[in-house]
């Protein structure tokens, strides 16, 4: 086997590897797009259900569970609740975006993430 034959085999191997990497990248990109579309469809389905524009018995239990969890998550903390070891409701103010109590000296809201400066 000559040097040229070895170089050709290496080039073919590299080309094959490059094609595999490209296919893998395309697959990962497609899977990410699919997940994003699933999320978008799911969110839209939930919004339509909340607006009373959609009803389906197969979805009802899951949508009700989402609504119940959303209510819990969206409930603002009380003055007595401890957030990350710091008392809230101590005059730190409210978020300009979501109106949730801010931690003293907060630069961003721990609920919605919006900058407060």
Evaluate if residue 106 carries a pLDDT over 70: yes
Characterize 5-22 residue by residue with b for buried, 16 or more Cβ atoms within 10 angstroms of its Cβ, and e for exposed.
eeeeeeeeeeeeeeeeee
Q: Is the pLDDT of residue 80 over 80?
A: no
Determine contact, residues 67/50, Cβ cutoff 8 Å: yes
Q: What is the mean pLDDT of the chain?
A: 83
Sign of CA dihedral 93, 97, 100, 106: negative
71 pLDDT above the threshold of 70: yes
The tokens for 117 are 């400066």
Distance CA(63)–CA(68), nearest Å, equals: 9
Q: Is the pLDDT of residue 110 over 60?
A: yes
When pLDDT is averaged across residues 39-63 and rounded to a whole number, the result is: 91
Q: Taking the model in full, what pTM does it have?
A: 0.48
């Amino acid at each position: 086997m000559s040097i040229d034959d070895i170089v050709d085999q290496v080039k073919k191997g590299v080309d094959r590897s490059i094609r595999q990497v490209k296919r893998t990248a395309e697959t990962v990109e497609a899977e990410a797009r699919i997940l994003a579309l699933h999320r978008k469809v799911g969110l839209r389905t939930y919004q339509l259900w909340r607006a009373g524009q959609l009803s389906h018995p197969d979805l009802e239990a899951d949508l009700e569970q989402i609504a119940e969890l959303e209510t819990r998550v969206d409930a603002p903390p009380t003055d007595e609740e401890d957030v990350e070891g710091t008392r809230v409701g101590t005059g730190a103010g409210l978020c300009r975006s979501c109106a949730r109590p801010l931690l003293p000296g907060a630069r961003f809201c721990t609920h919605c993430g919006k900058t407060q400066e």
